[in-house]
């Protein structure tokens, strides 16, 4: 087993990795920017190294600073968490060349799945269904318009090298293609350093379903069911649940089988998530693959009783999978709400100091967070403050438990989106499980006055 792991991340995921390492008897190294010196991941790690100023590109994205920290502390492995460098093939390759174990897939897997065009081609070859679209990177807006006319509108333009909703534009008519292409390409270039684009048919009422995959380095692979991720704003997920109320046991079995075949065909290792779009007729289409631990991984952990981060580390160490597909059975229904430091009405960021803090508890409630009273939410990073996860033996139990937990959650000094989460949980479409990726827009169109007034300041 590894002797010491450097966590190339911050916030709740860094703390999550530290906890898993401690249970496995592994030493930990936290890295931090100057403004994160008082963060919990710094406090609870065995060692800590300051790697630069607040700006991400000068600290958490600085590969030389990270690798130097690993060298001076004697770390023999690096866990990238999610975001930052977690899906960067160049960083993973550097780790491999320096004899540091990158806790995640091999660099060639990151490179293959990180390029959306190459990923589509590989998954199509492996037998996954795809939406009609461009066969490769688009040369320019003229080609984009030509292909869009061939497959029919609406279409969606996507960054070939990106994700997270950036570099994406929905186009409903030919006259809008050129402007959308230029805007999406410019955003992709600014976000990912690559303005390459492709396009595919756009589904108007899709559900966003993702399948959790787990593979060791010995050819064994399983899936841990699906997560429903359709509650999202501007392609950013807000609430996730598992199992999906739209996926039957038969559909789950079918999606799982084709996903397992695809992962075997490409020789995937470690954890990863295959993302699908599900249309109103129950037809599913491959969208992309995330080659890392997901923000929403706790949902699956609570449903299946597995520690995915601990499993990640053991798989990277070369340990074989101890579970077979037949042995993993969903036990509960789980829901996760992402608590962000933002205004519940305008979604404007709300950095600042938390002046009062009380988190919910009780059976069936879990909070993954780095927050505490007097913690300062920084304006330099993602606005995620906490992940609130609730579970129960039935979906309605998980929903009622989440309502109770949201009422108990007190975060003063900053604004949070807790009031908006309450509103989603009261929405008839969510309650019945009949919703799709339009649900947030539908709630917002009902008017801001319908958002419950927050109690206190959270």
Residues 6+ apart with CB under 8 A from 131: 200, 201, 203, 277, 285
Give how far the C-alpha of residue 164 lies from the chain's centroid of Cα atoms, to the nearest Å: 8
Per domain, the residue ranges of the chain are 4-103, 132-201, 207-450
Domains 4-103 and 132-201 agree in fold: no
* pTM, rounded to two decimals: 0.92
406, 418 Cβ separation under 8 angstroms = yes
- Which fold would CATH assign to domain 207-450? D-amino Acid Aminotransferase; Chain A, domain 1 (3.30.470)
- Helices 63-73 + 89-97 axis angle, to 10: 30
Pick from 6, 437, 19, 450: which is nearest to 228 by CA? 437
List 292, 395, 401, 423, catalytic entry: 292
Residues 6+ apart with CB under 8 A from 436: 205, 206, 207, 230, 280
Pick from 294, 389, 260, 277: which is nearest to 332 by CA? 389
Amino acid 116: pLDDT: 85
The C-alpha atoms of residue 231 and residue 431 are separated, in whole angstroms, by 13
359, 386 Cβ separation under 8 angstroms = yes
Tell the burial category of 153 from Cβ atoms under 10 Å away from its Cβ (0-12, 13-18, 19+).
middle
Tell the burial category of 55 from Cβ atoms under 10 Å away from its Cβ (0-12, 13-18, 19+).
middle
Cα 301-234-53 angle, rounded to 5 deg: 75
- Which fold would CATH assign to domain 4-103? Rossmann fold (3.40.50)
149 classed as catalytic:
no
Return the SS3 of 296: coil
DSSP string, 309-335: HHHHHHHHTTPPP---GGG-----EEE
CATH for 132-201?
A: 3.30.1490.20
Amino acid 378: pLDDT: 97
The C-alpha atoms of residue 15 and residue 1 are separated, in whole angstroms, by 20
pLDDT along the chain (458 residues), means of 10: 98 98 98 98 98 97 98 98 96 97 98 91 95 92 96 94 83 96 94 91 94 97 98 95 97 97 97 96 95 98 97 98 94 98 96 98 98 98 98 98 98 98 98 97 80 46
Amino acid 330: pLDDT: 94
């Amino acid at each position: 087993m590894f002797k010491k792991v450097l966590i190339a991340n911050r916030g709740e995921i860094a703390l999550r990795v530290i906890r898993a390492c401690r249970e496995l008897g592994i030493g930990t190294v936290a890295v931090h920017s100057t403004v994160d010196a008082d963060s919990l991941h710094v406090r609870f790690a065995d060692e800590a190294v300051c790697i630069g100023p607040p700006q991400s590109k000068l600290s958490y994205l600085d590969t030389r600073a990270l690798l130097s920290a690993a060298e001076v502390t004697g770390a023999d492995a690096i866990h990238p968490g999610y975001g930052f460098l977690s899906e960067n093939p160049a960083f993973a390759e550097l780790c491999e060349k320096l004899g540091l174990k990158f806790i995640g897939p091999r660099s060639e897997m990151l490179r293959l799945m990180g390029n959306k065009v190459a990923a589509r081609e590989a998954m199509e070859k492996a037998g996954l269904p795809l939406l009609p679209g461009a066969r490769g990177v688009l040369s320019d807006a003229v080609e984009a318009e030509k292909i869009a006319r061939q497959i029919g509108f609406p279409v969606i333009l996507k960054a070939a090298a990106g994700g997270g909703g950036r570099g994406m534009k929905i186009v409903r008519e030919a006259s809008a293609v050129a402007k959308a292409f230029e805007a999406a390409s410019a955003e992709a270039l600014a976000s990912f350093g690559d303005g390459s684009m492709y396009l595919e048919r756009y589904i108007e009422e899709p559900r966003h379903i993702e399948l959790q995959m787990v593979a060791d380095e010995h050819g064994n692979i399983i899936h841990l069911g699906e997560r429903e991720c359709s509650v999202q704003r501007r392609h950013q997920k807000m609430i996730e649940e598992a199992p999906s109320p739209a996926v039957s046991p038969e559909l789950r079995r079918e999606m799982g089988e084709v996903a397992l075949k695809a992962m075997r065909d490409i020789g995937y290792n470690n954890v990863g998530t295959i993302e699908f779009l599900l249309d109103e007729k129950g037809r599913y289409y491959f969208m992309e693959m995330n080659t890392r631990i997901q923000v929403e991984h706790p949902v699956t952990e609570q449903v299946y009783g597995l520690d995915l981060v601990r499993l990640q580390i053991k798989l990277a160490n070369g340990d074989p999978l101890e579970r077979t597909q037949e042995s993993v059975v969903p036990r509960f229904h789980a829901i996760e709400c992402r608590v962000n430091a933002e205004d519940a009405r305008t979604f404007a960021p709300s950095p600042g100091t938390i002046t009062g803090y009380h988190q919910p508890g009780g059976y069936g409630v879990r909070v993954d967070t780095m927050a505490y009273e007097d913690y300062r939410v920084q304006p330099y990073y993602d606005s995620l403050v906490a992940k609130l996860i609730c579970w129960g033996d039935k979906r309605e139990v998980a929903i009622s438990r989440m309502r109770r937990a949201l009422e108990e959650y007190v975060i003063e000094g900053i604004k949070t989106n807790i009031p908006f989460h309450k509103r989603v949980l009261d929405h008839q479409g969510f309650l019945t499980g009949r919703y799709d990726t339009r649900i947030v827009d539908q709630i917002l169109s009902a008017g801001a006055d319908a958002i419950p007034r927050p109690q206190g300041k959270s």
